[in-house]
Amino acid sequence: MESLQRGLRMSLVAVALIAGGCGSSRATVRFGSLSMGERSLEYEPDITWWTLPNNLTVVLTPDARANIVSVDVRYLVGAAEDPPGKTGLAHLVEHMMFELRAAQDAPTLKNRLAVAALGHNAYTSADATPVRRFALDHYGEAIRELEG
């Protein structure tokens, strides 16, 4: 009985602490240099796209409001192309792609991305292998060159 009463008292203390934290004395949330004024959901992108001689389609979508460059590449090969008995081969190739080196003693693509990019990721679906890299705009040319 005593342990039940002690547990009940602790529960009441926890509720009191939580309720006290929900009062109107909360601090104003700040998000760095973001201004919390009126915002618009309207966005009309200036999209330019073209096809290179090697059949690669390039799409450029600039946004002057952003200071981040994103390079997205979609290789049109995926798990559906895995040979019989070699399930997972396309996914393995996706992972091995990040181990590529320009020369034997050169850093891997993964190491070069660690320097230039804020982040990168890839995944293998049934019909494609999308790869995404993003960086601050002053590293944009460096991450675009890493694709070549």
What are the residue boundaries of the structural domains of the chain, listed by start?
Answer: 48-145
pLDDT score of 12: 43
| 48-145 under CATH 3.30.830.10, yes or no | yes
Q: Kindly state the DSSP code that residue 126 receives in the 8-state scheme.
A: S
Residue 98: pLDDT band with limits 50, 70, 90: very high
Give how far the C-alpha of residue 46 lies from the chain's centroid of Cα atoms, to the nearest Å.
23
Task: Report the C-alpha gap between 6 and 83 in whole angstroms.
Answer: 65
Q: Kindly name the residue from 94, 99, 141, 147 that is annotated as catalytic.
A: 94
Dig out the tokens for 92 from the structure. Answer: 């393995």
Active site residue 42: no
Q: Is the pLDDT of residue 8 over 50?
A: no
Q: Greater confidence, 16 or 40?
A: 40
pLDDT score of 38: 73
Q: Is the pLDDT of residue 26 over 70?
A: no
Q: What are the CA-CA distances from residue 65 to residues 18, 90, 98, 134, 137 (Å)?
A: 40, 37, 31, 16, 12
Dig out the tokens for 40 from the structure. Answer: 């618009």
The structure's pTM equals 0.61
